[in-house]
Amino acid sequence: MPKTLYVRVSGKDDALDRFEAAWHLASGRVAPAPLAVISFADLPLLVRTLSPARWELLKRLKAAGPLTIFGLAKLLERDYKNVHTDVSRLHELTLVEKDQDGLVSVSWQAVRAELRL
């Protein structure tokens, strides 16, 4: 699994360009390095999804290690329901992992953003 997650703001043309580049790379029989990417259609969507509260959640969870959502809410001094909502959304995006014991964690070492004009 890659240790870096790339977050991008890119439109359909950029996605097609990346697909074409991957296709050409694959046809050359060179195995591409695994790459984890989340793409957003525009900057407002990125900012709504990775709000300051969610970004703080990611940083604190990474530093603390695996926690229950209740434990994370206590650590953040936030309402459980709001933290649960944030964790659920971040889990959908693969920014947060959940294990079989109900603990949540951040496995990424870095999140890199790329914003194209």
| Domain CATH number, residue 9 | 1.10.10.10
How would you classify residue 45: left for phi > 0, otherwise alpha for psi between -120 and 50, otherwise beta?
Answer: alpha
Query: Which range (10-14, 49-53, 86-90, 109-113) has the least confidence?
Result: 10-14
User: What is the number of domains present in the chain?
Assistant: 1
**3: phi then psi, degrees, rounded to nearest 5:** -95, -10
- pLDDT tens profile 98-116: 999 999 999 898 888 888 7
* Residue 40 confidence class, pLDDT cut points 50, 70, 90: confident
Which has the closest alpha carbon to 7: 34, 46, 45, 33?
46
What domain range includes position 91? 4-115
